[in-house]
Amino acid sequence: MRALLLDTPGPIESGPVRMGELPDPHPAPGQLVIEVTACGVCRSNLHMIEGDWISYGVPAFTPIVPGHEVVGRVIELGDGVDWLHLGDRVGVQPLWSTCGHCEYCLTGRDQLCRSKQITGETVHGGYAERMLATAAHAHLVPDGLDDAEAAPLFCPGITAYNAVSKASPGPGSTLALFGVGGVGHMVLQFAGLTGAEVYAVARSAEHLALADELGAHPVDAARDPVGALTSAGGVDTAVVFAPSDEMLHQAMASVRPGGTVVLGVHARVGHLSFETEQRLVGSVIGSRQQMREVLALAAAGKVRARVERFPLDQAVDALERLKAGAVRARAVLLPGAR
């Protein structure tokens, strides 16, 4: 099979990835093989490719196939997989597998399992024509969802949903998002469904326009966002998906006393005053049950990923555009396109 392979992490411009060939995967018991029809391009993929996460043990090996928001059709089933059928359309999120018996797995927090495997980081991912998956962590994609628009639900969708759940906005409350993009544009939609008044802090005119399109109040990051958000006393909650220490500090300064900041990226917290009784909460991916809820909302037409489509051969172009901030929401690779 054809696949994009990461050999040695480095700047995307230096050619760390290449199109190559790998043997077709075959499933062990409890596994399946999918023919990949769509795979989203996540900034996490770019961090791994460029070597930003080597200190975290990512990638776990090389050469490795990146990609962790995947939709495809089942083409082979391993022993014991009796609830899926050949031809079924399924999706796979970053949570490729878990142990199934630790305290986190048993309490619906399987994304915190210490033995989890991550798609495209510790096992081969979806920048390829085919991919091996764990049946217990594959999700049927509802009819009516386009493959390319469904793929981002399996990372931006579930990641945004979990973060908004932790922020817990509601009618009459206020929420500010810092960082509009792949995950951020999904945060705006999930937050909007709660009845909260939603603000979006972004740097580019394109991302500010996208926020406005999605019903949020755009706030220019270059024009004193803290002043804009605190002029009426601050917001109840903030969600941060901009990998920026400065934006995290702005979020903390914008939240009123007793409020909550949800952090979904790496950033340095710095000073946190006990006197304001603010809560700072980390958020990573989401559980399998939450994934089902995201798919149900998308199937009902309540949320939709905005995507730009690229053939697999143009993966480097998509990654370079992402690095340059030129992707409006989510780039998606289509291995079957030419």
Let me know whether 90 and 18 are in one domain: yes
Let me know whether 93 and 44 are in one domain: yes
Let me know whether 133 and 147 are in one domain: yes
CA pair distance 59, 45, nearest whole angstrom: 10
Q: What is the pLDDT along the chain (338 residues), one digit of tens a residue?
A: 999 999 999 999 999 999 999 999 999 999 999 999 999 999 999 999 999 999 999 999 999 999 999 999 999 999 999 999 999 999 999 999 999 999 999 999 999 999 999 999 999 999 999 999 999 999 999 999 999 999 999 999 999 999 999 999 999 999 999 999 999 999 999 999 999 999 999 999 999 999 999 999 999 999 999 999 999 889 999 999 998 999 999 999 999 999 999 999 988 998 888 888 999 999 999 999 999 999 999 999 999 999 999 999 999 999 999 999 999 999 999 998 75
Q: What pLDDT is attached to residue 102? A: 97
Let me know whether 142 and 27 are in one domain: yes
If you write DSSP's letter for every residue of 118-163 in order, what string do you get?
EBTTTB--SSBSEEEEEGGGEEEPPTT--HHHHGGGGTHHHHHHHH
Let me know whether 256 and 167 are in one domain: yes
Q: CATH number of the domain that 127 lies in?
A: 3.90.180.10
Instruction: Match 């009784």 to its residue by tokens.
Output: 277
pTM of the model: 0.96
Contacts of 286 (CB under 8 A, 6+ apart): 93, 111, 158, 159, 161, 162, 165, 294
Q: What pLDDT is attached to residue 266? A: 86
Let me know whether 271 and 301 are in one domain: no
